[in-house]
Amino acid sequence: MMKHFGRLAAVSLAVALTAGCSTTTVTDSAAVAQDQSSHALKSAVPQDPALRLTTAEVMNILAGADADNYVLIDSRPATKFLAGHVPGAISIPKAKMQQQLATLPKDKTLVFYCGGLNCPLSPAAAKMAMANGFSKVKVWYEGSPGWAQAGNYSIIETKGLQKLQTSNKPFVLVDSRPAMKFQQAFIPGAVSLPKAEFPRKKHLLPGDKSTMVVFYCGGYHCQLSHQSAKMAIDEGYSKVSVYAAGSPEWKQAGLPMWGSQGSAGMQTAKTGLAETIEPAELTQLMAAGNVTIVDVRTAEEYAAGHLPGAVHVFDEDFIYKSEAALAKLPASGRVVLVCASGARAGGAYATIQAETNYANKAKVQYLDSSISYAADGSYTVGQ
């Protein structure tokens, strides 16, 4: 449970950094309450000052180093949670709170939220927790409306996206992966807007910025959708969500994927080299010293941990700074591009093959698999 909270909290912080929004302190969001109508204020639930957390405080918690000391609990019905929730939150509907109390840690601060200032579910759930011996309890009264008004995106789950697709609600589903990945297999109804090309293709987004926009990419290891969501918010879109589970979970759920290849085998280049390389073969090449590893993640990701001997070239540099990027690649020999999930590496591969004059492009492959990196150079593939 806390791993889930910590992981999405870290993703939220990474998005803020990569999008250039390096604000360290969020302005207090008490103004959210002032934005409500007088009728809404009259019907708002009573607030306990001793329990109250503002949206600003919750945002700072999510971005802070002690995020794992908190459990963010969505007290709304499960259907609401699936349709959109705050990154890092877990779902415990108030109606099921009593039977779930035993699963909650008493050494961490429980933060309850629901549907805003008029919603009684989170205060009721907090009282139930305190009555059962939990002493570290807070209520975020502004809840999900306050989160959106503060310029944040929500997380939509698989069942929520399924329901959205069959509803009459207008929305746009955006695939943030490189175009090559989209062409191979994509969620029905999605449009392709690669994160790397967002600045020059943002016109593909709806003209009405109140339209709901949902971004997805290659699963929990992939940050492209989160980064794209932040960029959309910066462009003025007010209803932005991320389908963080992405294409891997969609496939695992047995849901349809459209595209030219789907789950078909690897394409083979004229040289006989497949465009992708298997983890086992890459390990053998690394052990023999017969390969150049090119890490196409951000500089911050690379600095936090990378494969031994890997060269860093940011994936977008192959588009916008191609001459300098290609100068870092060897004139001959095997070259393997890697990232965190395979998406960015695949995009860089497609760019090199189609848009550059790199003389050694026939020897380039990429690893189409998730990788977890450690600061000591160790790594795990496929988890």
265 assigned to some structural domain = no
Same domain, 144 and 161: no
From first to last of the 383 residues of the chain, give the pLDDT tens digit.
444 444 444 434 333 333 333 333 344 444 444 444 433 444 789 999 999 999 999 999 999 999 999 999 999 989 899 999 999 999 999 989 999 999 999 999 999 999 999 999 999 999 999 999 999 999 999 999 999 999 999 999 999 999 999 898 999 999 999 988 899 999 999 999 999 999 999 999 999 999 999 999 999 989 999 999 999 999 999 999 999 999 999 999 999 999 876 544 334 344 458 888 999 999 999 999 999 999 999 999 999 999 999 999 999 898 889 999 999 999 999 999 999 888 888 888 888 988 889 999 999 999 988 888 999 988 888 75
217 assigned to some structural domain = yes
Helices (H), ranges, 65-220 = 78-83, 97-100, 121-131, 143-149, 158-165, 179-184, 198-201
Same domain, 316 and 244: no
84 assigned to some structural domain = yes
6 assigned to some structural domain = yes
The structure tokens 């023999």 sit at: 288
Same domain, 97 and 171: no
The structure's pTM equals 0.69
What token pair was written down for 258? 């459209």
**Is residue 33 within 8 Å of residue 142, measured between CB atoms?**
yes
Same domain, 228 and 110: no
* Total structural domains within the chain: 3
267 assigned to some structural domain = no
269 assigned to some structural domain = no
Q: Domain boundary at 117, 149, 181, which? A: 149
Domain that holds residue 175: 154-252
Same domain, 107 and 222: no
What single letter denotes the amino acid at residue 282?
L
Same domain, 310 and 357: yes
Q: Domain boundary at 131, 149, 167, which? A: 149
DSSP string, 247-308: HHHHHHTT---BSSSTT----B-TTS-BSB--HHHHHHHHHHT-EEEEE-S-HHHHHH---T
261 assigned to some structural domain = no
Coil, strand or helix at 124: helix
Count of residues in the chain: 383
What angle, 0 to 180 degrees and rounded to 10, lies between the N-to-C axes of helices 224-234 and 2-18? 50
Q: Domain boundary at 149, 176, 208, which? A: 149
For residue 133, what is the domain's CATH number? 3.40.250.10
Same domain, 163 and 127: no
Same domain, 20 and 123: yes
What token pair was written down for 223? 């940050």
